[in-house]
Structure 1
Amino acid sequence: MSRAKSAQLFSDAKSLIPGGVNSPARAWGSVGGDPIFFKKASGSRVWDADDNELIDYVCSWGPMILGHANPAVIDAAVEAARSGTSFGAPTELEVEMARRVVDAVPSIEVVRFVSSGTEATMSALRLARAKTGRNKILKFNGGYHGHEDALLVEAGSGLANQGIASSAGVHPDYAAATLVADFNDVDSVRVLLEANKGEVAAVIVEPIGGNMGVVPPAPGFLEGLRDLTTEHGALLIFDEVISGFRVALGGAQSVYGVTPDITCLGKIVGGGFPVGAYGASAEIMNEVAPLGPMYQAGTLSGNPVAMAAGIATIDELAKPGVYEGLQAKTDKLADGVLDVFGKTGVPAVINRACGLMTVFFTGNEVIDMDSASTTDREAFGAFFHGMVDNGVYLPPSQFEAWFVSTAHSDADIAQTLEAVGKSL
């Protein structure tokens, strides 16, 4: 499989773009080798710069739940673009998109659109601080919520478990105001809230972990967070940038029956265009300018092309049987991969949710970042390259989700399973 053109493009890019990529997730730092450059996609397939065809389980890291270049989405975006790509003024499409989000997501009565998931989480944290008058936030080890300064931290030492910066350029005061608990461990949250009583503005969590690999919540975990935040006067923020509109039309909160105070959305909500959103009750969102003192703005927020694509995507997802079909595809793929691994004797654990799965190269149950870290990363790297060589494109990191789309067919899954057998 020749990748000469990708290699040349990467060589050129490295002299023009930091590391040759516009997001570190696109680099192959954890698996070795040079990234592939793509030029075309349709349905479940992508084609690289050298015309190699691959089955795609990255799906632009989640937005392409309907597959690439879905006709309904493309037609809506093109029609909107012909009338103007941005006005810097309100449009009817924003109202229509907001109505769909409010109707679908249980916690949202009022929504504000932004241009990325990072912008959504950043704004949600600012809103929580504005609403509560407090400064500290609590996140979870292994949870990624965008590159906002206060969230680029890792666990420190001591009872308070205060965060230390995990990125250069983060002011130490931001990191010190971030507390880090363990996912699926309610007691670790209780300890931190007690040790910082009256100081925590919000607890932010992915209701289904997606950035340590897929890690579903343990029974009672989300309910425990809801109870603790209410008890301590902190707001509960669900980062549903990955799980929103993927595991169900109403997101993970509708699946698990736990309602957060603020919800962050991204990826699918834009139908493949740069969109994020944050929403809450009308009472909380009244803090947002121009109604309240919490300022947030964006020139391209709610632009008509992205709104049109988002509307078309949600309308397709709202059709009967879509999520049942997606769950069936996910289960067929996950069960098939487990079967192949079992026949080879290679230890593996697969965590899954609707449209999401991660293969961990470990025999241990994966319930948090520490247990996820028992995976054999070298084995995953070799597996990743084997899969690419056999025509299947996976996320180039052990700690990411495989994204399954409605466009993946039984034939795609059969071909994928054949590639798994060849790659072990």
Structure 2
Amino acid sequence: GIPAAVVGESIVLSADAPAPAVDALHSHDDIAAVIIEPSGASWGQVPLPPGFLSALREATKTRRVPLIFDEVITGFRWSRGGAQARYGITPDVTVLAKILAGGLPGGAVAGAKDILDQIDPAAAKAAGREKVGHQGTFNANPLCAAAGVTMLSLVATTDAGERAERTAEELRAAMRRILVEEGVPWGVFGQASVFVIFPNPARLPIDPANFDPLKLGFKGLKGGRDPQLNNKLRLALLAHGVDIAGGPGGFVSAAHGPREVAQTLDAWRSAVRAMKGELR
């Protein structure tokens, strides 16, 4: 778990609108940094409203507070330059992993020179100050680095990301059509090459064809989750040969094509039909 002392030094704010974060920045003079997933919480399961990131960037700049993007999932998936390039918002620090290391365990911290100089021994010595330690058992692992170099070359020189995103768009649209055809008031949404399933545990009057997750906000999307319902959906899909993330939702890759989409949609229709009893 997270130590109480750490929790006591943190402020967790709603991302349904930028005002709480902006107000907190202007009412506290001891905020060390602001960290956020630029997709919205949990790889976009709770998407951010339009203008949120730009308002946060402006407020952090005004208050001289570093803005940190968690791009562990969005990095190289939202675009070659991650979510920050897609949205045109540059943070002070970015944390990266997953795609970065080509499937091997690897991560990186990128950011403004004046910040990263804090962990550079040469820069610290030149400035006459003590450097900030950045030790790690797996730092500079050559195998992970080699996989990362190869992966980043593929990201830069191929259309893998674009193909994955097009496939995800087709998949989301088809999943929504099946919900309409089966008369099931759930939602399917997502950004870039991910899809998120909202199985509507509160039985809200949802139109699957026009579902807007922003209207529900954090409380509606994640606050009222039903883990049992999510597990049943995952098991129903597994019974038909498709495994998804526990969100529930999933990630599309460039390796997925028409055959995989068709298999997923067949499993989706079967799972939705099997789950209809949960709607009563």
- TM-score tier, shorter chain, comes to 0.7 to 0.9
TM-score (norm 2): 0.84
Q: Which moved more, 1:386-395 or 1:357-366?
A: 357-366
Instruction: State whether residues 230 and 246 of structure 2, in contact with CA within 8 Å, keep that contact through their aligned partners in structure 1.
Output: no
Are 1:369 and 2:201 counterparts?
Answer: no
| CA RMSD of superposed structures (Å) | 1.8
For 2:237, the equivalent position in structure 1 comes to 387
**Cα distance, 1:220 vs structure 2:** 0.7
Could you report, residue by residue, the CA deviation over 1:122-179 in whole angstroms, capped at 9, with x for unpaired residues? xxxxxxxxxxxxxxxxxxxxxxxxxxxxxxxxxxxxxxxxxxxxx3xx4322211100
Q: Closer, same or farther in 2 for the Cα pair 1:171/1:415, shift >3 Å?
A: closer
For 1:412, the equivalent position in structure 2 comes to 260
For 1:279, the equivalent position in structure 2 comes to 110
Are 1:175 and 2:25 counterparts?
Answer: no
TM-score (norm 1): 0.57
Q: Closer, same or farther in 2 for the Cα pair 1:210/1:355, shift >3 Å?
A: farther
- Residues in 2 aligned to 1:298 and 1:383: alpha-carbon distance in whole angstroms: 39
Instruction: State whether residues 330 and 404 of structure 1, in contact with CA within 8 Å, keep that contact through their aligned partners in structure 2.
Output: yes
For 1:403, the equivalent position in structure 2 comes to 251
For 2:26, the equivalent position in structure 1 comes to 194
* Match among 229, 232, 249 for residue 60 of structure 2: 229
- Residues in 2 aligned to 1:203 and 1:221: alpha-carbon distance in whole angstroms: 13
Instruction: State whether residues 215 and 352 of structure 1, in contact with CA within 8 Å, keep that contact through their aligned partners in structure 2.
Output: no
Q: Which moved more, 1:326-335 or 1:210-219?
A: 210-219
**Cα distance, 1:377 vs structure 2:** 4.4
- Residues in 2 aligned to 1:391 and 1:286: alpha-carbon distance in whole angstroms: 49
For 2:153, the equivalent position in structure 1 comes to 315
* Pairs within 5 Å for 1:75-154: none
SS of 1:383 mapped into structure 2: helix
Q: Closer, same or farther in 2 for the Cα pair 1:282/1:262, shift >3 Å?
A: same
- Residues in 2 aligned to 1:212 and 1:269: alpha-carbon distance in whole angstroms: 16
* Match among 218, 230, 249 for residue 80 of structure 2: 249
For 1:112, the equivalent position in structure 2 comes to none
Q: Closer, same or farther in 2 for the Cα pair 1:414/1:210, shift >3 Å?
A: farther
Instruction: State whether residues 357 and 403 of structure 1, in contact with CA within 8 Å, keep that contact through their aligned partners in structure 2.
Output: yes
Amino acid at match of 1:206: E
**Cα distance, 1:308 vs structure 2:** 1.0
SS of 2:213 mapped into structure 1: coil
For 1:262, the equivalent position in structure 2 comes to 93
Are 1:423 and 2:268 counterparts?
Answer: no
- Residues in 2 aligned to 1:344 and 1:375: alpha-carbon distance in whole angstroms: 22
Q: Closer, same or farther in 2 for the Cα pair 1:274/1:212, shift >3 Å?
A: closer
Could you report, residue by residue, the CA deviation over 1:5-57 in whole angstroms, capped at 9, with x for unpaired residues? xxxxxxxxxxxxxxxxxxxxxxxxxxxxxxxxxxxxxxxxxxxxxxxxxxxxx
Could you report, residue by residue, the CA deviation over 1:370-412 in whole angstroms, capped at 9, with x for unpaired residues? 12134554433222111000000111343xx411110011011
Could you report, residue by residue, the CA deviation over 1:99-140 in whole angstroms, capped at 9, with x for unpaired residues? xxxxxxxxxxxxxxxxxxxxxxxxxxxxxxxxxxxxxxxxxx
Q: Structure 1 stretches of 5 or more lacking a match?
A: 1-166
- Residues in 1 aligned to 2:262 and 2:86: alpha-carbon distance in whole angstroms: 29
- Residues in 2 aligned to 1:299 and 1:289: alpha-carbon distance in whole angstroms: 18
Identify the structure with the greater helix proportion: 2
**Cα distance, 1:366 vs structure 2:** 2.5
Identity between Structure 1 and Structure 2 (%): 30
* Match among 19, 25, 45 for residue 214 of structure 1: 45
- Residues in 2 aligned to 1:418 and 1:351: alpha-carbon distance in whole angstroms: 18
Identify the structure with the greater strand proportion: 1
Could you report, residue by residue, the CA deviation over 1:228-272 in whole angstroms, capped at 9, with x for unpaired residues? 111112110001001001111100000000000001101111111
Instruction: State whether residues 22 and 55 of structure 2, in contact with CA within 8 Å, keep that contact through their aligned partners in structure 1.
Output: no
**Cα distance, 1:217 vs structure 2:** 2.8
**Cα distance, 1:319 vs structure 2:** 2.5
Instruction: State whether residues 248 and 323 of structure 1, in contact with CA within 8 Å, keep that contact through their aligned partners in structure 2.
Output: yes
Instruction: State whether residues 190 and 228 of structure 1, in contact with CA within 8 Å, keep that contact through their aligned partners in structure 2.
Output: yes
Q: Closer, same or farther in 2 for the Cα pair 1:212/1:315, shift >3 Å?
A: closer
- Residues in 1 aligned to 2:81 and 2:43: alpha-carbon distance in whole angstroms: 23
Amino acid at match of 2:4: P
* Match among 338, 346, 354 for residue 184 of structure 2: 346
SS of 1:286 mapped into structure 2: helix
**Cα distance, 1:323 vs structure 2:** 2.5
Number of residue-to-residue matches in the alignment: 253
